[in-house]
Amino acid sequence: MHDDPRLEELVKQVRASRKYSAISEALVRRIGAAELCKRATLQDAVKATKKTLHQIAGLYLANAHPPYDAWLRQIIQAPDDTARRAVLRSIMNHHTSTRERLPILDAFYARVLADLGPVRSVLDLACGLNPLSLPWMPLAAGATYHAVDIYEDLAGFLRAALAALGVAGKAEARDVITDCPTDAADVALLLKALPCLEQLDKAAGAAILDTINARCIVVSFPTRTVGGRQVGMRENYAARFAAMIADRPWRVERIEFVGELAFRLTR
C-alpha cells in the first residue's frame, strides 16, 4: 500500500496542518499508509491519521507549537544551578509526561539509576521533554546523551538545550518502531512510552526491547489517566509487561512511585 498514489497527498495534507507539521515524515507516512488500507476515501484516511497522531503525541503537549526559542534563552540566561533547575521544571510542566513526574523528580532518578556503576551514556527513546531532567540524573562526568522523539522542532530544541547544559550528545526525530537506534548505551530510558507505541503496533514493545543495545533499560508506565483517574492501570500494565518479558534474559526489578510504575531491566 506504500505505492498508493494517494499517500503523497495524505502526507502533504497532514503535515500542512500546523499541529502536525513538525512530526517525523516517516511516521506520518507509515500511519497514513495503514489508514489508506482501511478507509474508504483519502479524506477519511487523513482524518484518521491526524486522530492517531493526536492520541500518541499531540494529546501530551500543552501547546502545539511550544516557544522553544524563548525556553532556550531562559536556560542559557539562568544565573546559577538553582535558577536553571527552576527554569527546567517550568518548561517540563508543558508536557504531560514530565509534568506528572515533577513531584517525584528528585527521587525518581536517584532510585532508577542507583547501583548501576558509572553511567556514561544514556539513550532516551520517545523522550518528550525528559532530557531536561539531566541535572537530576546521577551521571558520570562527561556522559553523553542521545534523545529521540517524533517531533523535528523538539529535536532541534533538545540539541541546543543539551549544549546549554554542557552535555555532549544528540537529539533526533525518528520513528522508533521502524528505526530504533542500535548504538550502545549504559542506560536506555523508555518512560511511559510503550502504551503509545503499542497503539501503533501491538508488537512494538517487545521488538524495541530486543533492539535496544544497553546494559540497563528503564521502562515505566503511567498509573493514572491523563485526566488523573486511577482505573487499575498499575496492575494492568504490570501484568502485560510481565508477559512481554517472560522469556527474555533480563533481571527485572520493579520500582514503585506515586503516579508511575518503573521496571529496571539489567543483563
pLDDT (tens digit per residue) in 164-217? 999 999 999 999 999 999 999 999 999 999 998 988 888 999 999 999 999 999
Q: Are both 124 and 246 inside the same structural domain?
A: yes
Q: Are both 106 and 48 inside the same structural domain?
A: no
The 10 Å CB-count burial string (b at 16+, else e) for 135-163 is ebbebeeebbbbbbbbbeebbbbbbbbbe
Q: Are both 90 and 218 inside the same structural domain?
A: yes
* Binding site residue list for S-adenosyl-L-methionine: 95-101, 126, 149, 175-176, 191
Establish if 96 belongs to a structural domain. Answer: yes
Could you read off the pLDDT of 23-52 as tens digits, one per residue? 999 999 999 999 999 999 999 999 999 999
Q: Are both 137 and 224 inside the same structural domain?
A: yes
* Binding site residue list: 95-101, 126, 149, 175-176, 191
The 10 Å CB-count burial string (b at 16+, else e) for 206-220 is bebbeebebbbbbbb
CATH number of the CATH domain containing 100? 3.40.50.150
Could you tell me the residue range of the domain that residue 150 belongs to?
85-266
In the prediction, which pLDDT does 57 show? 80
The Cα angle at residue 231 between residues 148 and 188, in degrees rounded to 5: 20
